Amino acid sequence: MMKNLFNSILIITSVLSAFAGIDRANAQDAKGDSVVTTLDPHSSDGLFSTHASYTFNVKSTFNNPEVGKLSYLVTTEAGKKVKADSIHIKLGPKSSGSYNFDIPGVPPGFYKINFMINVSDYDDTTRRSFGVKPDKLRSQHAKPADFETFWKDSKAELAKVKPEYKITEVPDTTKFKRKVYKVEMKSLGGLTVTGFLTEPNLPNRKFAVLLALPGYQVTLGPMSGNDPDIAIFTINPRGSGYSRGVINERKESWIILSLEDKNKYILRGAIMDCVRAVDFIYSRKELRHDNIIAAGGSLGGLLALATSSVDKRISFCSAANPILCDVRNMVHEVDWPLIDIRKYVATRPDLTMDKAFDNLDYFDGKNFASDLVCPTLVGMGMLDNIAPPDHVYIAYNEIKAPKHIIIFRDLAHAVAKSYNVYEGRWMRDTFALF
């Protein structure tokens, strides 16, 4: 029953699913001899309560000895050197060795670590990340004093816009043959946004709802499946996917549109589009208004945090690799969207970087996180340079509601299928769908 639900959620949350690396490397000569290395962290998720520790394994099939050096370099996420060490190693012909490394004295936080091996027939670098006491991390930057008022006023402005729902039934081209509806509705500023509702073809039933929120400039069409308990509503916020109407920006321009004015900034409207999606769910008598999960990855992860924070009608939040968390620290660790923001500021005489960050404070994932009241699941990749682990964890630490985080030690801007399995089970428990 749940397999297709997991597959549906996987499409949303796994915005970029490529592995950032693997733990095994090797070099092979023309005769077939090789040096093979493996790195074993002494932690399944890359988190350590005191100090990081690793075992570096080397195996050689060469007939000659392998002589050289094995070293490591620890840096902050921003690239500042924290600690380094090295040892000399000598492997006999056709032999192997294991070398233990402890990295003490590192303050709470997330770090990059490079292990470098330089021996007679082999040179290589293995790159990983680790965290130490991440539950101690807090942002140095406070939430704006009028943060909640800003979003209360935004919802009040949205409420004055009549949704004027236009609902058109369309065929389900999948094998499940669910009921599928294209939904057009008016949102903040009178803009029309588009979504798709798919429901099990079962009369006289009420369905829990998965509100699917897209990654950056991802088009979300109808999402199907064979779970008889779940309806899925996909929403395309303004300027994205099926909602490219008045707003039809280039991909790199969307995130900076009207950044000079927080009341006109694109994300304010996009978040209100998601709230309007909840309005639509509430307008449908066949949908469970007390069983709504907001789920997404990357930008969709931020939208899940934001929507669940400002709209208490959301029952369960799932945010994978949420971007724009602890935004004022982006200058140290994040290339995108900072590079586009800097370019935009340079073209606007009425905008400075300080003013841009003043406005972005109202769209910071950590500031939404502190207002969450529903159960919340967060996923993150330890090697993510778009939603870096320290940024995501700072947002996670702000959540006071029931929460859980799943960390993928060797992934970048992605989560694995195990995240979606956990998500589905927790959702069904929360919604009492047994």
pLDDT digits (tens, 9 = 90+) for 348-406: 999 999 999 999 999 999 999 999 999 999 999 999 999 999 999 999 999 999 999 99
DSSP 297-318: ETHHHHHHHHHHHH-TT--EEE
* Percent of the chain surpassing pLDDT 70: 92
Do 15 and 60 contact (CB within 8 A), yes or no? no
* pLDDT number for residue 173: 85
Q: Does 30 score more than 70 pLDDT?
A: no
As a whole number of angstroms, the distance between CA 310 and CA 300 comes to: 15
Q: Does 13 score more than 80 pLDDT?
A: no
Which of 42-46, 223-227, 317-321 has the highest mean predicted lDDT (pLDDT)? Answer: 317-321
Q: Does 215 score more than 70 pLDDT?
A: yes
H-assigned helices in 168-312: 251-254, 266-283, 299-310
* pLDDT number for residue 257: 95
* pLDDT number for residue 3: 44
* pLDDT number for residue 67: 95
**Between helices 353-360 and 338-347, what is the axis angle to 10°?**
130
- Candidates 390, 398, 348, 405; CA nearest to 368 is 398
Question: pLDDT tens-digit profile of 303-324?
Answer: 999 999 999 999 999 999 999 9
* pLDDT number for residue 262: 98
Q: Does 22 score more than 60 pLDDT?
A: no
* pLDDT number for residue 335: 84
Domains recognised in the chain with CATH numbers: 3-16+141-430 (3.40.50.1820), 24-136 (2.60.40.10)
* pLDDT number for residue 27: 54
* pLDDT number for residue 332: 75
Dihedral angle of Cα 130, 132, 133, 138, to the nearest 10 degrees = -80
Q: Does 23 score more than 70 pLDDT?
A: no
Do 310 and 275 contact (CB within 8 A), yes or no? yes
Helix (H) or strand (E) holding 194: strand 192-199
Q: What are the helix and strand counts (H, E) for the chain?
A: 11, 18
Predicted confidence band of residue 14 (pLDDT cuts 50, 70, 90): very low
Q: Does 17 score more than 50 pLDDT?
A: no
On the CB side of 178, how many CA atoms lie within 13 Å of its CA?
Answer: 24
Question: pLDDT tens-digit profile of 81-137?
Answer: 999 999 999 999 999 999 999 999 999 999 999 999 999 999 999 999 999 999 999
As a whole number of angstroms, the distance between CA 388 and CA 131 comes to: 12
Taking residues 138-152, what's their average pLDDT?
97
Q: Does 231 score more than 50 pLDDT?
A: yes
Taking residues 256-271, what's their average pLDDT?
97
Share the mean pLDDT of the chain. 91
H-assigned helices in 245-380: 251-254, 266-283, 299-310, 330-333, 338-347, 353-360, 365-369
- Candidates 162, 266, 171; CA nearest to 224 is 171
